[in-house]
């Protein structure tokens, strides 16, 4: 069975809704494609090295905090970076970021670290400022769906 790991920091109702949009897209795509996929959710503060090693692809979600990713997601990278370096190279991944005014710094910070890990981006990050609109929710759903498709493809 293919495994998609969703690592997220979800501190509010809006970010919770965003997480659900992404996961809905992931499970809908697995159903549509007839793929055998397990979607594993881990809060960023709870994710550990075996979660990352045992997954076939990754979705990361974070709020912007002080122009950077959340401390929780940074803690995740501090925990898993070296133990997972090389072993996870090339795996597909996607990112969403939420903020109330400026989210580019957070997205770039995540992308810089993931470039080091050598994961393969399925599409540009989904960036949402303010409460998620219908359009934003659709883009999050699609992010979940295309990441699922990439994971299933990589496992076929």
Ligand X SMILES: Cc1cc2nc3c(=O)[nH]c(=O)nc-3n(C[C@H](O)[C@H](O)[C@H](O)COP(=O)(O)O)c2cc1C
Is 71 a binding residue for ligand X by CB under 6 A? The answer is no
What is the DSSP code (8-state) at residue 11? -
* Dihedral pair phi/psi, residue 111, rounded to 5°: -60, -35
Is 100 a binding residue for ligand X by CB under 6 A? The answer is yes
Is 145 a binding residue for ligand X by CB under 6 A? The answer is no
Burial annotation 88-109 (CB, 10 A radius, 16+ → b, else e): beebbbbbbbbbeeebebbbeb
Q: Name which position in 57, 61, 92, 99 contacts ligand X (CB under 6 A).
A: 99
Q: Write the CB contacts of 101 (distance below 8 Å, at least 6 apart in sequence).
A: 129
Which residue, 65, 29, 8, is CA-closest to 144? 29
Q: Write the CB contacts of 42 (distance below 8 Å, at least 6 apart in sequence).
A: 5, 6, 7, 8, 51
Based on CB atoms, which residue is closest to ligand X, 91 or 98? Answer: 98
Based on CB atoms, which residue is closest to ligand X, 9 or 91? Answer: 9
User: At its nearest, how many Å lie between ligand X and the CB of residue 129?
Assistant: 6
Is 133 a binding residue for ligand X by CB under 6 A? The answer is no
Q: Name which position in 98, 119, 144, 145 contacts ligand X (CB under 6 A).
A: 98
Is 11 a binding residue for ligand X by CB under 6 A? The answer is yes
Based on CB atoms, which residue is closest to ligand X, 36 or 102? Answer: 102
Q: Which residues bind ligand X (CB under 6 A)?
A: 11-12, 14-15, 63-67, 98-103
């Amino acid at each position: 069975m293919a495994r998609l790991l969703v690592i997220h920091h979800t501190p509010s109702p809006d970010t919770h809704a965003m997480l659900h949009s992404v996961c809905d897209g992931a499970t809908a795509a697995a159903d549509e494609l007839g793929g055998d996929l397990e979607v594993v959710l881990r809060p960023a503060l709870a994710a550990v090295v075996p979660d990352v090693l045992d997954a076939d692809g990754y979705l990361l979600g974070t709020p912007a905090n002080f122009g950077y990713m959340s401390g929780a997601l940074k803690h995740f990278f501090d925990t898993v970076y070296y133990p997972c370096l090389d072993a996870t190279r090339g795996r597909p991944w996607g990112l969403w970021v939420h903020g109330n005014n400026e989210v580019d710094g957070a997205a770039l910070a995540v992308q810089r670290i993931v470039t080091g890990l050598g994961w393969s981006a399925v599409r540009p990050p989904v960036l949402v400022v303010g409460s998620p609109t219908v359009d934003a929710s659709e883009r999050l759903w699609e992010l979940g769906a295309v990441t699922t498709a990439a994971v299933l493809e990589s496992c076929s």
